[in-house]
Structure 1
């Protein structure tokens, strides 16, 4: 109910307005029974505390909202750390939401950020649909897209050249002698996956080598192990001798499975991952990976947001970082 207020909750729970206020703000002052009745009334009436009104009286919330695709991916968790570092230095807090590869979950977080009237939004979007940001634009709330370029030019953005990341990975595998390279990644409604795929496939085909696609709906170590089982079971004619995992987790899972099945890495199959997470260097066969400057990207995104708040009439900026390849033992030296 859009018009439900604190008095409605109090009436439903059979308590005073001050008791409802205490349950919401200082629950230690309220008995367990009263707290349970108030919480049930809040749930029954779908009551949302009017935080916005308090914030409007104060002028600003001093809070940013940040929604990322998957917080379990070390790239995004480090980007959050970088953003929090810069925001906190400027006196801001960051509310973090994990979309977990789900557009509906992302939309619910944006709804939450809107209700809370936050000062700015940092968003690593799940898909290309950015229509949910229009309400913030209308209210003059600055938005920074993280790990994504906005082709329309309507939003600030911090991104990585993922096409070049794919080119670097494929060129390195080819230089080590691979002649059949498989791209393992997805989902392709995520722009980063499309860009990495584009870079790999184009480079492989231009070199006259064989390209295979193993498309996935997510990326995890567990899925990597399952795919590694499948790759290990292929006959040598069909099996790739180079694998690019679209993140380090899936690449590490593939490598674990291949080694378990007696497939030599990199002797039989060379592997490159993406993100250069901490575990990449400490794997049983240290993983070659495409490094993203995740913390720096998070810092840059928060910095852009702060600049937009202090200088709202300045032209929109787009910051693009370049990837680098970190070679380790999972790939062969140049032939």
Structure 2
């Protein structure tokens, strides 16, 4: 499995990952495992006594975990000042920013923004909307980017796909589909080390149907090719034409994808999120994500239905993400 290779790369505790949702047993257990296995130095935010009580209840040693009570931390004022300065054009005052430090997602986000942590993982308890909002407010959108989207790795045996957008943009425009596709290709190549082959999915393959929804996808493909002429991309494609070479030969023989897509971009959030859950529940694919694309520093989301293993795997990915980003600088 691909994750097994990443686990070796993640070994060593030089990466600091903050977990805001310390009231959840899955998060506490995953942080303990990640710390013990040396995937990162985990920080749990919250009341120390409550976290230790929960750790004892689930039989987890906290020896490899750092606990910070964000409600009592000496960094609250500094983080609030930084956040108020960052958001002053939006009307955020220092007083309001200080109140936001009661929210562990905001406190943790400012830890990452101020480089007191390398990354943040949240979403096992809160919604994706809450995760995205706090991420945009604290670490912000990356320079040159416009929209945050959510991409998930789906893995089964030797098969690995990246699906997007599965988390954020409900009804993407052509321009947003263009950005989602380009960001997703970059995410796939960053982690997989292989060339991305991007398929923009729909119920039609290369003009087999007519609808205004399809016009939006076709326009997006034109925009992608103009922005990234070297990217292997095609659309609109049905799933079988995107993933089965034999079907691609019949339906779209001229397609550069040739039935071997590894990045699947969905026409809307309904299709992306539903497909993701189907792959996980019915087909047994392992899911890691959503990765928040286009944020300036590593902040990644979880599904509220996640298991401990899912959180540990996300931690492995984040550790590798941070290490590789350091090497690029």
User: TM-score normalised by the shorter chain: which range applies?
Assistant: under 0.3
Higher relative contact order (CA 8 A, sep 6+): 2
- TM-score normalised per structure 2: 0.26
- TM-score normalised per structure 1: 0.26
